[in-house]
Structure 1
């Protein structure tokens, strides 16, 4: 994506997170290289987009205790996503979050159903209770969905 496209995404309510500088498996990095991968990607995004980057996704979903500890102790990111499928609860570790899979072939009501399930399991509550910004649901996902469809699937 181009910077202008990312800025348009932000204007529509999406969030942008980091994914490392060079997309290498972080477990193979020295401590110095690991810090570079984590911090430079964050700094570039923040500089170009003018926002604070709070979220990260492990390249290839690969991580270990050393990486998680560094992110946690240095307070580099608030949430970190893995490639593991599933939902999160208020007790989930925010440095090992599961993902809700959404694919291009999904119908709007499929997305609405998955988002409602995620909301019901409480991951939004955890972010809100910690004082971090998180909308009750990503409203941009619902812009194109007729209200009656959302009502049918989110009750």
Structure 2
């Protein structure tokens, strides 16, 4: 198994092409289209063809200075996933975790705002899965056993995943 982070891939690609390495938090202020092109370039470069399972930790919506933006399903179509796993959490817990994480520079959001963002993200993930005709699985944040069960079940159903 190989685990890749979308933000790390984008930053790596920007370092290669532009000589800059913006922080994860500064990516949201950049062009979404440019970031997604950088993601695809780095994903194709870093994916290990010998791995039977590649997990891409990515968002389906981005909280930009201009508001919430959905990531186009075209980006995911190019990645060609076999399934989507959406990790959801209680909005209060998301709010608490964000406030505790002093290493990040996120916009201030209320619990209600984060609940709405999660609803939008769930709808976006469903739209992507439906558009690509692939299954979507939902896992509660922090439930590593449930995530492991989903990944095992997918690999049993499709051994080449």
Normalising by structure 1, we get a TM-score of 0.39
- Of Structure 1 and Structure 2, the greater helix share is in 2
- Of Structure 1 and Structure 2, the greater strand share is in 2
Normalising by structure 2, we get a TM-score of 0.38
